């Protein structure tokens, strides 16, 4: 297994639209294992393939406290969403250090395929419901900061670009 590089907002590649997975082979299994390792190492509770520059409809999620309940969703579809909404303070591995409230349906019913291509359905609420919707947004090229006001989003963009410049500068010094 190996750790994958996570794209950082505002990288334009985060806005690519993912294509459905059609081949369930060893390459897909390796990608899932690498994505899971990358998510746990970060640490995070969810990671979409879009975030590691693979534009296929695949996401891994583990919202358990112990980090021992890995869920793999391939070609996910929302079958039903509750009218009831919840606001949750979301964060994202592509926008490190930023957390803000996003309102979404409180409960969703989702259909997806597992790593072997077998269909399954999940009724999700709480953090799992948030996470599924957040990761599905990534597959559609959407990052959670796009739900925030333009003012907040521009501030976040400026902060991310500044950090990126600082990291590049630190790297240059380190290699001298
Ligand atoms: Ni995210």
Q: What is the pLDDT of residue 1?
A: 77
Global confidence as pTM: 0.95
β-bridge pairing 107-113 and 119-125: antiparallel
Question: Quick one: tokens of 3?
Answer: 């750790």
Whether 167 contacts 8, CB under 8 Å: no
Average pLDDT over residues 41-53: 97
Please give the C-alpha separations between residue 129 and each of 13, 67, 143, in angstroms, as whole numbers: 25, 17, 16
- With vertex at residue 156, the alpha carbon angle to CA 86 and CA 55, rounded to the nearest 5 degrees, is 75
CA of 137 to the centre of ligand 1 (A): 8
What is the chain's Cα-based Rg? 16
Q: What's the rounded mean pLDDT across residues 160-169?
A: 93
- Ligand 1 centre to CA of 150 (Å) is 18
Active site residue 83: no
Which residues neighbour ligand 1 (ion) by CB within 5 Å? Answer: 92
Q: Is the peptide bond before 11 cis (omega within 30 degrees of 0)?
A: no
Q: Residue 159 C-alpha to ligand 1 middle, in angstroms?
A: 17
- Tens digits of per-residue pLDDT, 1-44? 799 999 999 999 999 999 999 999 999 999 999 999 999 999 99
* Catalytic choice (135, 146, 164, 166): 135
136-163 residue pLDDT tens: 999 999 999 999 999 999 999 999 999 9
Contact (Cβ atoms closer than 8 angstroms) between residue 166 and residue 174? no
CA–centroid distance, 173 to ligand 1, in Å, is 30
DSSP letters for the chain: ----PPP-TT-GGGGPPPBPP---SHHHHHHHHHHHHHHHHTT-SEEEGGGGT--BSEEEE---SSS---EEEEEEEEEEE-S-EEEEEE--TTSTT--EEEEEESEEEEEEE-TTS-EEEEEEEHHHHHHHHHHHHHHTT--GGGGS-HHHHHHHHHHHHHHHHHHHHHHHHHH-
């Amino acid at each position: 297994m190996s750790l994958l590089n996570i794209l950082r907002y505002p990288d334009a590649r985060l806005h690519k639209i993912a294509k459905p997975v059609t081949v369930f082979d060893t390459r897909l299994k390796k990608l899932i294992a690498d994505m899971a390792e990358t998510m746990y190492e970060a640490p995070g509770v969810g990671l979409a393939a879009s975030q590691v520059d693979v534009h296929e409809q695949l996401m891994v999620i583990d919202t358990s406290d112990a980090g021992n309940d890995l869920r793999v969703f391939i070609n996910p579809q929302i079958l039903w969403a509750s009218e009831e909404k919840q606001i949750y303070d979301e964060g994202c591995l592509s926008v490190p250090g930023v957390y803000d409230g996003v309102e979404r349906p409180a409960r969703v019913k989702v259909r997806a395929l597992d790593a072997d291509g077998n269909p399954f359905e999940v009724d999700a609420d709480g953090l799992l419901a948030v996470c599924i919707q957040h990761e599905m947004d990534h597959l559609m090229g959407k990052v959670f900061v796009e739900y925030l006001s333009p003012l907040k989003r521009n501030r976040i963009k400026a902060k991310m670009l500044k950090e990126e410049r600082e990291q590049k500068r630190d790297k240059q010094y380190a290699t001298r």
